[in-house]
Amino acid sequence: MQHVSPVREPLVTGGKTYHDVTQDICRQVEAKPNIRWMAALSVALFFLGVFLYSVYRTLWYGIGEWGLNKTVGWAWDITNFVWWVGIGHAGTLISAVLLLFRQKWRSSINRAAEAMTIFAVICAAMFPVLHMGRPWLAYWVFPLQNTFGSLWVNFNSPLLWDVFAISTYFTVSLVFWYTGLVPDFATIRDRAKGPIAKVAYSLLSFGWKGSAKHWSRYETVSLILAGVSTPLVLSVHTIVSMDFATSVVPGWHTTIFPPYFVAGAIFSGFAMVLTLMLITRVVFKLEDYITLEHIALMNKIMMVTGSIVGVAYITEFFIAWYSQVEFEQYAFINRATGPYWWAYWSMMTCNVISPQLVWIRRIRYSIPATFVLSIIVNIGMWFERFVIIVTSLHRDYLPSSWVMFSPSIIDIGIYVGTLGLFFTLFLLFAKFFPVVNMAEVKTILKYTVDNGPTYTGNHGHHDQAHQPATHGVPASAPVNYDKHE
Amino acid sequence: MTSMSKRFALGIFDDEDVLLHAIENVREAGVKIYEVFTPFPIHGIDDALGIERSRLPIAAFFLGMTGLSFALWMQIYMLGFDWPMIIGGKPHIALPAFIPVAFELTVFFTCHGMVITFYTISSLYPRWKTPVLDVRSTDDKFVVAIEMNEKTDLNHLTQLLRANGASEVNEKEMTKF
């Protein structure tokens, strides 16, 4: 039994019945693709083509196709890797951390956010794999029998920790997401008319029938997966940050990195969730499920994590001065005033100043303002990784090696291309999969009414069992059960 | 009626609170409920149906321990015994450096072991066709299935379910269910 405040805003608006939820979410899965979706998919496919061409150039001619040089050996590839992995974090935060904190509003956005996580991790994985130069030997990163060579992998290396962290993160997110999808696939299966859809969704639904016993286990599994995914999501970006923090490069060698990266990841992830949700709710007419309240709540999370990131930037600067290490100090002065000053100040403006606008209620509840802010934050977070990586490397200990980095057209092609890959996957997901977790949204319909859930367990009620069926009454309309007592 | 097929009386409910009361009353009347199908998880249904608490969390703990032990054994064996290497003058068995991989594999084993266990014990696997007792049970109806034999009095069951708020009572025969 959960107490629900009577003054709380409804989580789902529009007085939906259970059947309305099914209808609203299944509509776009069952309908023929509309023209806007086709247009969006064509654009995404074009950029996917750009990606494939750039990958072909990289593989055929080698890493020399990229703008890297002897001093700056890591640039856009790792920037994009960290950017994409970071974006993924919001999905797991919504699906796991908010589940543990019983934030019921997450129900209508968690499906799409988890899908975003999975697609973002796929995009992220492209960069380290391509940077290997010979991706067909990518399996060498796994601890294999040493007939492949005389050595095992080095378990002391953060790059190897990344292999374990990212592959665990990807597969765990995937099965967590899929397990949540199974009951919804069953709903689509039972509504399907065409023979192909019937078979396809029957296969996808794993024979789910919604029996009480299965639901009981399903809930246990969800809770345990949420429980293990919560430390997992924190560990992933911690380990990503250790790629830098365990090195001795000034600007990277910082103990603040793990929490700073995790906050930044959630910050950028929520920005991407907002971008996607604002489009999805309009295109699929989900305004009753993804309400202004959701947008405001996500804005608040963005503001909190953005502020953590801002404090981290300032702390870094302070510690550089406080350490009295000349090289550390130079790395930071160079960031802010050196040749990459524009990148540094873009980062500061986008990530530190812009999220503070969310304190203003009108901005927090404004769709256009939120949309613009979410894009700005994504740009800012890309610059953050670029600043950390490139400005720390481009002026190393030997001034004769000082260089600037400029990306090649192939670098740009791969980055823009992963956006194409991401949106292709997301659009296919949005068309063929239920974008909102129907089963879970149905459980929260009654939490939106003033009197909340009414079942009180085994006590009382037994002789007054003649409760009339509430047929035709919206499940989220206030139903006063007390009058039957 | 072949030996393969089963006959069910299906009580269809529109509201989960009504359903929960009905389940209790039907069970109290001495009728055995075969299964209840609902479109979403309902809190309190486990108690009403007498479903025991799942032992999956215990399995999760042991799966996690398996992952942790495996990860530690793997790293210690590979770098400590099978082919010790000097890396920056650090000890061969550098436990602090082994923690990230040990943690990740703990999560990996717990999660995948959990999901495999869940699908296996619930016999959920991809199939070409999924027969259901009532297609609305994945949409907006709550279905109480009661298995019938030759001696079952359908009229009595119908009355009982109706009296407890069922909006419909149907009869359905299923082969291989």
pLDDT for the residue A452: 47
Q: Rounded to an integer, what distance in angstroms lies between the CA atom of residue A310 and that of residue A304? A: 10
Six token digits for residue A299: 């804005």
State the smallest CA–CA distance between residue B7 and chain A in angstroms.
Answer: 17
Q: Indicate whether A130 belongs to any domain.
A: yes
Q: Indicate whether A2 belongs to any domain.
A: no
Q: Indicate whether A483 belongs to any domain.
A: no
pLDDT for the residue A9: 67
pLDDT for the residue A340: 93
Q: Residue A212 is nearest to which of B35, B74, B129, comparing CB atoms?
A: B35
State the smallest CA–CA distance between residue A58 and chain B in angstroms.
Answer: 31
Is residue A418 a contact partner of residue A80, using CB atoms and an 8 Å limit? yes
Beta bridge partners of A14: none
pLDDT tens for each residue of chain B, 177 residues long: 445 678 888 888 888 888 888 888 888 888 888 888 998 888 888 888 888 888 889 999 999 999 999 999 999 998 888 888 887 888 888 889 999 999 999 999 999 999 999 999 988 888 888 888 888 888 888 888 888 887 777 788 888 888 888 888 888 887 766
Torsion of CA A418, A421, A424, A429, to 10 degrees: -110
Q: Rounded to an integer, what distance in angstroms lies between the CA atom of residue A45 and that of residue A248? A: 41
For residue range A362-405, what is the model confidence (pLDDT) as tens digits?
A: 999 999 999 999 999 999 999 999 999 999 999 988 889 999 99
* Domain regions of chain B by residue span: 5-53+132-175, 56-121
Q: Indicate whether A478 belongs to any domain.
A: no
A 210-239 near B (Cβ less than 8 A) = 210-221, 224-225, 228-229, 231-232, 235, 239
Q: Rounded to an integer, what distance in angstroms lies between the CA atom of residue A188 and that of residue B41? A: 17
**Mean pLDDT (chain A, rounded):** 85
pLDDT for the residue A12: 80
pLDDT for the residue A472: 44
- The number of beta carbons lying within 10 Å of the beta carbon of residue A148 is 11
Residue A211 is given by DSSP the state B
Q: Please determine, for residue A336, whether its predicted confidence score (pLDDT) is greater than 80.
A: yes
For chain B, the residue count is 177
CB contact (8 A) between residue B100 and residue A461: no
Beta bridge partners of B144: B11, B36
**Residue, of A458 and A23, whose pLDDT is higher:** A23
For residue range A237-269, what is the model confidence (pLDDT) as tens digits?
A: 999 999 999 988 888 988 899 999 999 999 999
Q: Indicate whether A6 belongs to any domain.
A: no
pLDDT for the residue A484: 40
Over pLDDT 70: what percentage of chain A? 89
Q: Rounded to an integer, what distance in angstroms lies between the CA atom of residue A252 and that of residue A82? A: 14
Q: Indicate whether A7 belongs to any domain.
A: no
Kindly indicate the confidence band of residue A288, based on its pLDDT and cuts at 50, 70 and 90. confident
B 77-116 near A (Cβ less than 8 A) = 78-79, 82-83, 85, 87-88, 90, 94, 97-98, 100-101, 103-105, 107-108, 110-112, 114-115
CB contact (8 A) between residue A206 and residue B104: no
- The number of beta carbons lying within 10 Å of the beta carbon of residue A79 is 23
CB contact (8 A) between residue A458 and residue B24: yes
Our separate counts of H helices and E strands in chain A read 17, 0
- Calculate Rg over the CA atoms of chain A: 25
Is residue B42 a contact partner of residue B19, using CB atoms and an 8 Å limit? yes
Q: Indicate whether A463 belongs to any domain.
A: no
Q: Please determine, for residue A334, whether its predicted confidence score (pLDDT) is greater than 50.
A: yes
Q: Indicate whether A125 belongs to any domain.
A: yes
What does the longest C-alpha to C-alpha distance in chain A come to?
90
* Residue from B12, B17, B31, B40 to probe the interface with A (highest A Cβ count within 10 Å): B40
**Could you tell me where the beta strands, DSSP code E, fall in B24-113?**
35-37
Q: Rounded to an integer, what distance in angstroms lies between the CA atom of residue A224 and that of residue B60? A: 8
Q: Please determine, for residue A471, whether its predicted confidence score (pLDDT) is greater than 80.
A: no
CB contact (8 A) between residue B119 and residue A206: yes
Residue A323 burial (C-beta neighbours within 10 Å; 0-12, 13-18, 19+): middle
| Structural domain span for residue A212 | 18-141+153-444
For residue range A71-95, what is the model confidence (pLDDT) as tens digits?
A: 998 889 999 999 999 999 888 888 8
* Angle, alpha carbons A321-A326-A332 (nearest 5°): 55
Q: Please determine, for residue A354, whether its predicted confidence score (pLDDT) is greater than 70.
A: yes
CA A278, distance to chain mean position in Å, is 15
* Rounded average pLDDT over A277-300: 87
- CATH code for the domain defined by B5-53+132-175: 3.30.70
Q: Please determine, for residue A97, whether its predicted confidence score (pLDDT) is greater than 90.
A: no
Q: Rounded to an integer, what distance in angstroms lies between the CA atom of residue A242 and that of residue A314? A: 20
CATH of the domain at A210: 1.20.1630.10
* Angle, alpha carbons A223-A242-A96 (nearest 5°): 15
Q: What residues contact residue A447 under an 8 Å CB cut-off, 6+ apart?
A: A2, A4, A11, A104, A453
For residue range A153-210, what is the model confidence (pLDDT) as tens digits?
A: 888 889 999 999 999 999 999 999 999 999 999 999 888 888 888 898 999 999 898 8
- Residue A350's identity, in one-letter code, is C
